[in-house]
Amino acid sequence: MRIVAALLAHPRARVGALAEAAGTSAPTVSRRLASLLGPVVRVVGVIDQQRADAGFAVFLRLRCVPGASADVARAVSEWPESGYVSVIGGELDCAAQLHVRSTRHLLEITSDRLRGVRGVIGSSTSKIIRRFSTPHGWTGAVLPERSIAALRSGRLDHWSEDRPRENYRMDELDHAVAAELAEHGRRSWREVASPLGIQPATARRRAEAMMTAGLLRLRTVVQPEVLGQPVVAFIWLRVAPSRLESVGRAVAAHPNVLNIAATTGHTNLCGEVALASDEALYRFITEDVGQFPGVAAVDVSDGLDVIKRASHVFEPV
């Protein structure tokens, strides 16, 4: 778990840095990574579409006929627009995060494509208008802060939502380099460069320029239960507009919050949390979120089966 947590803090960290953070030896880290990467953990590079001005993200919430939620979620997970899909409990049956090019694109999905998904009886969307935290900054609440800070000091990509994007216009080669890292984010620069017919130094320079600009972001993709946090939940908060910024920042700072964002709709602050137990979830709701001034209502949906993260579909076990 410490090795995975170190990868969360810095997905491309050298083995020696991972070993120091995890409190073990470099050979041990190399041996464990060989068995972890692929089946349990993936490291990917992703282009931040919102920062690249390539559209916007929305939460899609679906109600289904009894017994159809898993099939509906699997169908939505096949859409290229879906980056996250989960079967959830409560008043809803499926939740997804989509990235769309435009309002017309979103309308095509909600008015036309959903008709082809059997079992859907209702839907709603909420546009993400301000991100306070994303899984790029989640570290699993396993390592001490000093270890996390040491690892993050070596990152060029933007793990925090507070760093502003710099002006950078991506060209065809940039997209090709990013596509190589999208498959395996820990590839060596030689491995990235070889299929593109360029020098490793060129691949590194292009990738690091995109990282510094805030466009190319690295992410370690893992189910929270691997880190001893099997209780996954969606939270939907209704917050007084004057308190939205302060509450959003406060919730984002909690170590068990994977992501939290301000949205349009009846609930205006939504996100995902992962905790060790139902008791921990209860304390999070009552002692943390419930104490913030301006929070008028809290709704919680159980994450029964998260089947897609960072565009990676987890196969049923």
pLDDT digits (tens, 9 = 90+) for 255-269: 999 999 999 998 999
294 and 228 assigned to the same domain: yes
**What is the per-residue pLDDT for 91?**
78
Total structural domains in the chain?
Answer: 3
For 156-176, how does the pLDDT look when each residue is reduced to its tens digit (9 = 90+)?
999 999 988 888 999 999 999
215 & 237 share domain: no
Residue 274 lies in a domain: yes
Residue 89 belongs to a domain: yes
Three-state DSSP at 240 gives: coil
- In this predicted structure, what is the pLDDT of residue 316? 65
Mean pLDDT of the chain: 94
Establish if 234 belongs to a structural domain.
yes
pLDDT in tens, 111-159: 999 999 999 999 999 999 999 999 999 999 899 999 999 999 999 999 9
How far apart are the C-alpha atoms of 144 and 163, rounded to whole Å? 23
Domain final position from 173, 191, 221: 221
Same domain, 189 and 233: no
Domain of 99: which CATH number? 3.30.70.920
Run of H or E residues at 127: strand 120-133
Single-letter amino acid code for the residue at 183: E
Shared-domain flag, residues 152 and 188: yes
Q: Is residue 183 part of a domain?
A: yes
Domain holding 265, by residue range, is 132-138+224-309
SS3 at position 277? coil
Token readout for 183 is: 């498959």
Tell me: do 228 and 214 sit in the same domain.
no
